[in-house]
Amino acid sequence: MERETLIMSDGCMVEAVSLGPGSTPRGHIHLVHGMAEHIGRYSGVMEELAAQGYAVSGQNQRGHGPLAEEAGRLGDFGDNVTFDRLAEDVREVLAHYKKRFGRVPCILFGHSMGSFVVRRYSQKHGRELDALILSGTAGGPGIVGIGGTILASMLSVKDGSHAPSYLLDKLGFGGYNRSVDHPETKFDWLSTDRRAVREYIADPLSGAVSTNKFFRVLFEGLKVISTADAYRSVPKSLPVLLISGSDDPVGDMGAGVFEAAALYRNAGVRSVTVSFREGERHEILQGAAQARTLAVMLEWLVKS
């Protein structure tokens, strides 16, 4: 696997990884990870996709990964960053790898917060894609998102934009374990695989409490991607797969996933598929759930 640091158009350095299949690829899949994790957690996924003939690339989003840790900025997007800037990061990194892998079908994958970012990408640059996969996505933020944005702004004034927001972290994620019988850790909602949960907790690059500015950008982004108007520019021919654990609290046990799917369908997108991994929670590409989830994704790609 090749690792490199790319410089975005605004001067920010972004870590990226890639893996080729060793022959002409059947397609190019770009991975965008979720909040409070990093692209290194997807090395096994990338290896399996490459073994199936796909060129694969991915990136650490701002505020994530080794560079952010070295700078003391885990969980912090930095100054003057908007949600649209996160989507532009993906576009710039993806363009870099498109040159390397050539003119093959381009598939964009996003998990959790990464799914929100790639949903924005599909609204702004969907014509550049051949397929879109959303893992562990959610519905609109509703009144909670409005209140979260206001609270994040108030806390930014009180404690500073770059201060870790333990309050918003608790309000945003503290209730997720309510769906788990007898949880052993505060992260049991992530996976039914206890080993995967333990590995997440032990990972110094995962689980960081994000800053007030981070939460404000996230809440503002969720509001943007959850309006019907935002989906009107998504190509009607773009195949979209939404895949999630049936017991994922982020997707409101499926209700939020169907809500996100409806936004694409109501905009006239003709091929929108929803698939659930029964009994699984949020992280369906980690631990024991990974193999079956990849099988579903690969089968869908062949049919699309």
DSSP code string of 197-265 = HHHHHH-TTSSPPPBHHHHHHHHHHHHHHTSGGGGTTS-TT--EEEEEETT-TTTGGGHHHHHHHHHHH
Helices 43-51 and 290-303 pack at an angle, to 10 degrees, of 40
Per-residue pLDDT at 52: 95
| Rounded Cα distance, 27 and 273, in Å | 20
| Rounded Cα distance, 254 and 274, in Å | 10
Tokens, residue 18: 């890639």
Per-residue pLDDT at 143: 62
Asked: is 2-303 a CATH 3.40.50.720 domain? The reply is no
Domain boundaries, the chain: 2-303
Q: How far is CA 148 from CA 33, 174, 219, 284, in A?
A: 22, 14, 7, 27
Per-residue pLDDT at 304: 85
List of long-range contacts for 225-230, beta carbons under 8 Å, 24+ apart: 225/116, 225/119, 225/120, 225/123, 226/139, 226/140, 226/141, 226/263, 228/263, 228/266, 228/267, 230/120, 230/123, 230/263
- β-strand 13-19 against 2-7: which pairing, if any? antiparallel
Question: Would you mind telling me the total number of residues written for the chain in this entry?
Answer: 304
Encode the chain (304 residues) as per-residue pLDDT tens digits.
999 999 999 999 999 999 998 888 999 999 999 999 999 999 999 999 999 999 999 999 999 999 999 999 999 999 999 999 999 999 999 999 999 999 999 999 999 999 999 999 999 999 999 999 999 999 988 766 778 889 999 999 999 999 999 999 998 888 999 989 999 999 999 999 999 999 999 999 999 999 999 999 999 999 999 999 999 999 999 999 999 999 999 999 999 999 999 999 999 999 999 999 999 999 999 999 999 999 999 999 999 8
How many other C-beta atoms can be found within 10 angstroms of the C-beta atom of residue 17?
A: 21
Query: Is the separation of the CB atoms in 109 and 32 below 8 Å?
Result: yes
Does the model's pTM come out above 0.85?
yes
